[in-house]
């Protein structure tokens, strides 16, 4: 996991994660999780947190390419 993702995860922990389907209902201070396919849950590995939680915590990034710019309009 890169430094930017770890930094975003730390900032996201300040906000609770929304209820499904937008998030996982993690309370502030607890990491986001996903179903593990066996009835349990595991922490997200490839993402800092669910997108809705990142937004609630004020994490913003520049769009990666022009297609994302068009979607944001």
Separation CA 17–CA 72 (nearest Å): 22
Q: Please tell me whether residue 41 adopts helix, strand or coil conformation.
A: strand
Q: What is the pTM of this model?
A: 0.76
Reading the chain (73 residues) residue by residue, the pLDDT tens digits are: 678 888 899 999 999 999 999 999 999 999 999 999 999 999 998 888 999 999 999 988 755 565 655 554 4
Provide the residue ranges of all domains of the chain, joining segments of one domain with +: 3-72
Tokens representing 53 are 């939680």
C-alpha 50, offset from chain centre: 3
> To which H or E segment does residue 35 belong?
strand 33-35
């Amino acid at each position: 996991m890169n430094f930017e993702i770890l930094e975003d995860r730390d900032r996201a922990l300040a906000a609770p994660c929304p209820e499904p389907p937008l998030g996982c209902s993690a309370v502030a201070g607890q990491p986001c999780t996903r179903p593990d396919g066996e009835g349990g849950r595991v922490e997200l590995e490839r993402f800092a947190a669910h997108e809705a939680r990142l937004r609630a915590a004020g994490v913003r990034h520049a769009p990666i390419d022009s297609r994302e710019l068009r979607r944001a309009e």
